[in-house]
Amino acid sequence: MSETKEVIRVQQIRKTYEMGKTKVHALQGVDFNVQRGEMVAIMGASGSGKSTLMNIIGGLDYPTSGSYFLDDIEVNKLTKNQLADIRNQKIGFVFQGFNLLARTSALENTELPLLYDRSKRVKKHSEAARQSLERVGLGDRVDHFPNELSGGQQQRVAIARALVTNPSLVLADEPTGNLDSKTTVEVMALFQELNEEGVTILLVTHEDEVARYAKRIVELRDGKIIKDVPQTPDSAAKDLEELLLRRSEEQGAKEPETAQAD
Ligand SMILES: Nc1ncnc2c1ncn2[C@@H]1O[C@H](COP(=O)(O)OP(=O)(O)OP(=O)(O)O)[C@@H](O)[C@H]1O
Ligand SMILES: [Mg+2]
C-alpha cells in the first residue's frame, strides 16, 4: 500500500450526461480530497450527484472533465484493464442492496474479489475470506447462504467482501438504505470500528441519523459541493447499547405476564 496520506484527490470534476438533445450536468466542478483514515458522509437531495461522484471515485465511470487521483495514481488516464485492476485491488464496494450471489455461501461471496485479483497477492483465498468474516463478527456464519442470514448479516458479508483485498478505500452507497433502524446502528458501529482500525470510508446517505456517525460531512446540491464540514461523530456502539438495553427493558416489563401464564 502507498504511504501517501491522501487517498482521494478530485479536481474540478464535471460529469455531463447527453440525453439526445438535452444535457444533464450531474457534476459541475467538484473539488474534494480524502485523507487516509477519514470517515466521510456524502449527503444531498435525490439527483444532487452523489452516486455519480461515487461511481467516478470507484472507477466505475469516467468524468467528462477534471482529474481524479487515487493513491497518487491518475485514474482517468488508465486503460480499462488498468482501471479494473485498481478497482479490484484498492477499492472495496458496499451497496444498498448487498449484491450477494444467492446460491453462494457467505465464505464464497467474500472470496469473490480475490478470484479477480490478477496480482494474486493473496494466496489462500478461503482463509482470507474467513478472517474477513470474523472481522465483521460472522465467523459462525461462513457456510450460510444469503437467504439464511438477516439483512444486517447480509450487509456484513458485503462489508467482509469489501475488506478481503485489504483496500485503501471502502465506498458505500446508501449501505443502510434497506435496513431497519437497529440494524442501521449495528452496521454503522461496524463501520466506525473498522475506521478506528484505519480503514478509510466514504459513504453516501441522505439520512442525518446515519451521517452523524461520520467524522466529516460533504453536501452536494445540483452537482456542486455546498458544504464540507468536520464533526465529532456520535458513537454508534453506545447508541446500539442503549437501544438494546431499552428493548430488553421493554421485554422485561412484559415478562411477568408470561411467567404467570406458565
Ligand atoms: N446514466 C445516466 N444518464 C443520464 N443521466 C443520469 C445518469 N445517471 C444519473 N443521471 C442524472 O444525473 C443526476 C445525478 O444523479 P445521481 O444518480 O448522481 O444522483 P444521487 O444524488 O445519487 O440521487 P439519489 O439520492 O436519488 O440516489 C440526476 O439528475 C440524474 O437524473
Ligand atoms: Mg444515488
State how far the Cα of 168 lies from the Cα of 22, in Å rounded to an integer.
37
Read off the pLDDT of residues 183-230 as tens digits, 9 standing for 90 and up: 999 999 999 999 999 999 999 999 999 999 999 999 999 999 999 999
What are the residue ranges spanned by the domains of the chain? 6-254
State how far the Cα of 200 lies from the Cα of 195, in Å rounded to an integer.
6
pTM of the model: 0.90
CA distances from 9 to 45, 68, 168, 253 (A): 23, 6, 13, 53
Nearest CA to ligand 1 atom 4: 17
Residue 174: band (very low, low, confident or very high) from pLDDT cuts 50, 70, 90: very high
Alpha carbon of 221 to ligand 1 centroid (Å):
12
**For helices 151-163 and 181-196, what crossing angle results, to 10°?**
20
Q: Is the pLDDT of residue 171 over 60?
A: yes
Ligand 1 pocket: which of 19, 27, 28, 52 to mutate (most atoms within 8 A of CB) = 52
Read off the pLDDT of residues 48-90 as tens digits, 9 standing for 90 and up: 999 999 999 999 999 999 999 999 999 988 999 999 999 999 9
Question: For residue 58, what pLDDT is reported?
Answer: 94
Alpha carbon of 20 to ligand 1 centroid (Å):
16
> What fold, for 6-254?
Rossmann fold (3.40.50)
Residue 4: band (very low, low, confident or very high) from pLDDT cuts 50, 70, 90: low
Alpha carbon of 153 to ligand 2 centroid (Å):
23
Read off the pLDDT of residues 118-133 as tens digits, 9 standing for 90 and up: 888 888 999 999 999 9
Contact between 36 and 6 (Cβ < 8 Å)? yes
**Which ligand does the CA of 44 lie closest to?**
1
**Which ligand does the CA of 23 lie closest to?**
1
Ligand 1 pocket: which of 22, 48, 224 to mutate (most atoms within 8 A of CB) = 48
Residue 93: band (very low, low, confident or very high) from pLDDT cuts 50, 70, 90: very high
Question: For residue 261, what pLDDT is reported?
Answer: 47
For the chain, what is the mean pLDDT? Answer: 92
Query: What is the CB neighbour count within 10 angstroms for residue 68?
Result: 22
**For helices 181-196 and 236-261, what crossing angle results, to 10°?**
140
Q: Map the chain to HEC letters.
A: CCCCCEEEEEEEEEEEEEECCEEEEEEEEEEEEEECCCEEEEECCCCCCHHHHHHHHCCCCCCCEEEEEECCEEHHHCCHHHHHHHHHHHEEEEECCCCCCCCCCHHHHHHHHHHCCCCCCCCCHHHHHHHHHHHCCCCCCCCCCHHHCCHHHHHHHHHHHHHCCCCCEEEEECCCCCCCHHHHHHHHHHHHHHHHCCCCEEEECCCHHHHCCCCEEEEEECCEEEEEEECCCCCHHHHHHHHHHHHHHHHHHHHHHHHHHC
Nearest CA to ligand 1 atom 19: 47
Q: Rounded mean pLDDT of 140-159?
A: 96
Share of the chain above pLDDT 90, in %: 83
What burial letters (b/e) apply to 221-231, b meaning 16+ CB within 10 Å?
eebbbeeeeee
Contact between 169 and 91 (Cβ < 8 Å)? yes
Alpha carbon of 157 to ligand 1 centroid (Å):
27
Is the CB of 177 within 6 Å of ligand 1?
Answer: no
Query: What is the CB neighbour count within 10 angstroms for residue 202?
Result: 26
Closest ligand 1 atom to Cα of 54: 18
Residue 116: band (very low, low, confident or very high) from pLDDT cuts 50, 70, 90: confident
